[in-house]
Amino acid sequence: MQGIWKIFILGCITILVVSCSSTKSLEKGQKLYMGATINLRNMTDSSIVKNIDLQEELDALLRPTPNGSLLGMPIKLWIYNWGGPTSKKGFFRNIFHKIGSPPVVTTYGALQKNREILQNRLENKGYFWDTVTVDTTVKRLRLTATYNAYLDSQYTIRKTTYEFDSITPIGKTLRRITRNWPERKVGKPYSLDDILGDRTRMDAWLKRRGFYYFDPNYIITLADTTVGHHQVDEVVKLKNSTPKDAKKQFRINDIVVFFFYNVGTDTTLKYLYRSPKDSGYLIVDSAKIVKPVVFARLLGFKKGELYNINTHSMAMNRLSSLGMYKFVKLRFEETDTVGKPGYWLNAYYYLTPATKKSIRFETSGYTKSNSSNGGEMSINWSNRNLFRGAEVFNVKLYGALERQVISNAPNINTRRIGIQTSLTMPRIIAPVFFKTNPDFLAQTKVQMSYEFYTRSSQYTLNSFNTSYGYIWRQSETKDHQLNVLSFTYVRPTHVTDAFQLALDTNVVLRRSIEKQFIIGSNYTYTYSTLNAANSKRRKNNYLLTANLDLSGNLLGIITGANVNKGNEKNLFGTPFSQYIRGEVNFAHYLKVGRDATLASRVITGLGYSWGNSTTMPFAKSFFVGGPNDLRAFSIRSLGPGSYYAGNPRTAAYFLGDQPGDMKLELNTEIRKPLFSIVQGALFVDAGNTWLIRNDPTRPGGTFSNQFLKQVAIGGGAGLRFDANVLVLRVDVGVPFRGPDPGYEGFQWHFKKMDWSWIQSNWIWNIAIGMPF
């Protein structure tokens, strides 16, 4: 502990010395802007008014933003100041100024502008008789601003009148839309945001009913604040200057599709042909590369129907999601139609296909925490229109080599060779009909793969996987994936005598390469507000993933399989797995301040084997430890329960994979940008796995009422390098509580935490992407 105290004292001295230089780079007459405080006060007696939502809304309007800090220390400002004045030249000056951030200064003019913005926002919220003042405090070249907002009573809505005629199509439509709106607004606070929101909703309704040229700015709201008692009367109507075209209700006439469009495409319709059943689709595709029925499913619009902005967006989303088009454009043009009453639009789709067939070569190298190093090469071939129905077919051939170097033991070489194929069809192909949201493209996906895996002087594995399922989106936040059939077959061969001896004495090791025959179905539901259009503006975001995996249950019931009674059933000479497995992953992302995020996650999982199986398949078991869950523990090495498999740093032979039947995991971390593309994080992780049935080879692993005493806890810090296309993450974790040799159960480690112990037990994690 003395080493830690020395580091702490040295850090305090460094902070005191460096903090004196916060104003070092200021020019003459400048003051370092430290930020501002907004006080909401009652206009009558100047008492403080508590309104958290209003306070946060006003705080977000203040400019400029003061220099960022970490734990109260403006580190980026210090780094900038170390570079010296801007007039100074040199390599290190450029580096420091690039990494750091210059001192934030402000002017009294800017503060006065802030005051005006705050007052305007309060008026927009119904505080018509408010007053905002600004005062400044300067101390040692540091300026702090204080805004006092004196509030009178907030105005509320007494009455809202919608003045639309009952003769024209647009007037009748607006009257129908707003029929029940006045009652819902009475008594609510006046708000400009609500007025703008109502205009946007009316515009969306009109655009779903044929009013193609309408714009929300053609609607005006008049507010009368003279009615007394802090109330407002509103009158909503169309502006007198509204253009005639905006009042026209349009229908769809011809729908023209330029399949192979580029800048030089002939748009004279010389090569068009009609799709079947005279649906109104005019296809410009002389080579007939795509079946016309594809467009009938994707374009949405039908001849003669009213223009609808939802159908417009749906068609664009569907065509963009196909993966076979590089660019998609939709244009509407008013047209004269002889003998047809009303107003009509021709729709023109301009589709620029991506390359139909493509081939991609990939190579990668990696290193693992188990002293393994290796690389992989792959060839990927794609066909984006295999059967002229916009099907996407992918084939991947890959090979990998890996070498594990273990001291005082022979090196282990691993080779993997395999093929993966997938066929994605832009529709649901099922014996029964089930409804999906037409705004999004539903898909049927078939996957098949085979891998030959060999481990020198140990064993060989042959594995085959196939699945048939559906992917569809219910809304922008809800996704579904159902694999009606999922099939996995694993067969070990060429097991050496020496390795067989190890298998005979280690149940976990034997399970890791046992024969497997998994046949069943699985379903995954995902709810994510991170996919919503307003996710970046939301203070709270959520991610929920729930999975249900079933294998061999119907087959086990039909065959009467019961391994405990000696009635084990085989398929192709291999016992099929029978189990029920469920897992729920819930994450919450809370914005803290202007740029920090508090991310938290809870994972629970349970797998139960029965009938033809006594244990879960190794690949379907639960594991903890590693860069994406408990970062203070080695990959998949923790648990189950209080079982201790040994220290991977000192054990002569360490089997890191420790499967469990149950899992509980909790994670939380605070994330904050530091400089440039670098973000910092502080985290705490907790969790473990447990067994449902007793395993004599792993004592203490069974779930009991003492499970809370078996929850491992660790924490640490990390850096994230966000380059937009990918995030490189480096985390270092230290166990706070966990298994300890010589003790039963888990022990707290704080008393041992000198620098030597930390170095011996910390875990470094390097990974791609955020942990959650």
d(CA 470, CA 484): 8
Residue 371: other Cβ atoms inside 10 A: 14
Instruction: Taking residues 68-96, report their average pLDDT.
Output: 76
Q: What is the pLDDT of residue 378?
A: 96
Residue 718: other Cβ atoms inside 10 A: 23
CB 681, CB 670: distance < 8 Å: yes
CB 407, CB 439: distance < 8 Å: no
Q: Burial level of 129, CB count in 10 A (0-12/13-18/19+)?
A: middle
Indicate the helix (H) or strand (E) that contains 19: helix 2-19
Dihedral sign (CA 369, 370, 375, 377)? negative
Residue bearing the bigger pLDDT, 501 or 209 = 209
Dihedral sign (CA 317, 320, 322, 328)? positive
Q: What is the pLDDT of residue 651?
A: 54
Instruction: Taking residues 471-489, report their average pLDDT.
Output: 94
pLDDT interval class at 16 (50, 70, 90) = very low
d(CA 532, CA 746): 42
Supply the angle between the helices 169-177 and 192-207 in degrees, to the nearest 10. 130
* DSSP code at position 278: G
pLDDT interval class at 262 (50, 70, 90) = confident
Q: What is the pLDDT of residue 695?
A: 87
pLDDT interval class at 12 (50, 70, 90) = low
Which range among 70-84, 194-208, 465-479, 718-732 shows the weakest confidence by mean pLDDT?
A: 70-84
Instruction: Provide the 3-class DSSP secondary structure of residue 473.
Output: strand
CB 603, CB 628: distance < 8 Å: no
Q: What is the CA radius of gyration of the chain?
A: 33
Q: What is the pLDDT of residue 505?
A: 77
End-to-end CA distance of the chain: 33
What tens digit of pLDDT does each residue of 25-48 get? 788 888 999 999 999 999 989 999
Sheet strands (E) in 456-505: 459-473, 478-493
Which range among 93-97, 443-447, 543-547, 560-564 shows the weakest confidence by mean pLDDT?
A: 93-97
CB 698, CB 621: distance < 8 Å: no
Does 654 have pLDDT greater than 60?
no
- The candidate with the shortest Cα–Cα distance to 6, out of 359, 607, 14, is 14
Q: Phi and psi of 141, rounded to 5°? A: 65, 20
Does 330 have pLDDT greater than 70?
yes
Site of tokens 């789709």 = 349
Q: What is the pLDDT of residue 4?
A: 52
pLDDT interval class at 80 (50, 70, 90) = confident
DSSP β-bridge partners for residue 488: 465, 518
What tens digit of pLDDT does each residue of 271-327 get? 555 554 545 688 887 677 888 788 878 888 888 999 999 999 989 988 888 888 889
pLDDT interval class at 195 (50, 70, 90) = very high
Instruction: Taking residues 678-706, report their average pLDDT.
Output: 92
Q: What is the pLDDT of residue 404?
A: 72
Tokens of 309: 């902005």
Does 19 have pLDDT greater than 60?
no
pLDDT interval class at 203 (50, 70, 90) = very high
Q: What is the pLDDT of residue 642?
A: 87
Tokens of 462: 């042959």
Q: What is the pLDDT of residue 547?
A: 97
Concatenating the DSSP letter of every residue in 341-382 gives -SEEEEEEEEEEEPPSEEEEEEEEEEE-TTSEEEEEEEEEEE
Average confidence score pLDDT of the chain? 87
Concatenating the DSSP letter of every residue in 587-650 gives EEEEEETTTEEEEEEEEEEEEEE-TT-SS--GGGSB---STTS-TTS-TT---STT-----TTT
Percent of the chain residues past pLDDT 90, beyond the cut:
53
Q: What is the pLDDT of residue 280?
A: 65
Does 208 have pLDDT greater than 90?
yes
Q: What is the pLDDT of residue 512?
A: 80
Does 622 have pLDDT greater than 60?
yes
Cα three-residue angle 352-358-361, rounded to 5 degrees: 140
pTM of the model: 0.80
DSSP β-bridge partners for residue 443: 471
Does 98 have pLDDT greater than 60?
yes
Domains (range + CATH), the chain: 22-67+103-151 (3.10.20.310), 156-247 (3.10.20), 250-353 (3.10.20.310)
Does 17 have pLDDT greater than 60?
no
Does 537 have pLDDT greater than 90?
no
Q: Phi and psi of 556, rounded to 5°? A: -65, -40
What tens digit of pLDDT does each residue of 161-191 get? 999 999 999 999 999 999 888 777 889 999 9
Tokens of 729: 């993450």
d(CA 394, CA 382): 5
Q: What is the pLDDT of residue 252?
A: 94
- The candidate with the shortest Cα–Cα distance to 658, out of 615, 621, 604, 629, is 621
Does 340 have pLDDT greater than 50?
yes
What tens digit of pLDDT does each residue of 384-399 get? 999 988 999 999 999 9
Does 669 have pLDDT greater than 90?
yes
Q: What is the pLDDT of residue 270?
A: 52
